[in-house]
Amino acid sequence: MSVKTFFSLIKIEHTLFALPLALTGAVLGARGMPDLWTLVLMAVAFTAARAAAMAFNRLVDRRLDAQNPRTAEREIPAGIVSISSVWLFTGIAIALFLIVPWAINPLCGKLAPIALVVLLGYSYTKRFTSLCHYLLGLALGMAPVAGWIAVTGTWDWPPVVLGLGVIFWTAGFDILYACQDVEFDKEKGLHSIPAKLGTKRAMKLAAFSHLFAFTLFVFAGFLASLGFAFYLLSLITGGLLFYEHRLVTPDNLSRLDMAFFKVNSLVSASLFLAVIAGLI
């Protein structure tokens, strides 16, 4: 499997908007920049976790992906990679994720298996609950809490509230993304909020989730006693979330990829920079 195929399989670009969330928690916990070694270990553990989760998801969904015109060209259903090679890759990523956190601190090592259950278990949730979007949010919402624990060895409310915000932010954009598969999900008996409520009502719920996420982001800053600059730059985060919903409508999903990838990358980056500014 080539490096390019590897990056495509695990959607390496998703890491670009997910990793800043863990870094945000770490910066909050350290009240500044953590030491370089901790940051390196965090990056390795986080990347391994995402790689394992994405590869496992591709394995679990391979038959469904083959039947969906939108996903039929993915690496496994298209025959670009073998199932055995993806299983091997997944196993290596899982092993790396379970080992590296012990080098950060004991609490990270002990919590890693629990996090892994959430990360891998998400792949099955759309088979039995329309709340799958919020369970995906939980998988990503662990990131700022993990970042905090990595530098402090303890937990506290600011990263927890920030993580709750990430849950609703993630659920909001995943609901939007699921709007393109409404008919397929209904046909295959899969659960999603757009399939259950319809695209129009689902988009309203996504907008509410993002409004609530923004409120939680701001509240997390308050709990962490961040300075005025945090609230000022948070307006950018809020503006990006608003813009995301201007890009798509129930009748026009043509700009969904832009909303999903580009805008959300900017959301996580803007949140990270807002926290840094609030600590200065």
- Please state the pTM of the whole predicted model: 0.94
Phi-psi region of 226 (alpha: psi -120 to 50; beta: other; left: phi over 0): beta
Query: What does the pLDDT average to over 49-73?
Result: 93
**pLDDT interval class at 2 (50, 70, 90):** low
The hierarchical CATH code for the domain 3-279 is 1.10.357.140
Query: What does the pLDDT average to over 141-155?
Result: 95
The domain spans of the chain are: 3-279
What values do phi and psi take at 252, rounded to 5?
-145, 105
Mean pLDDT for all residues in the chain: 92
CB atoms within 10 A of CB 118: 17
**pLDDT interval class at 1 (50, 70, 90):** low
Give Cα separations from 84 to 1, 60, 65 (angstroms): 11, 13, 17
Task: Look up residue 85 and give its two tokens.
Answer: 């090679």
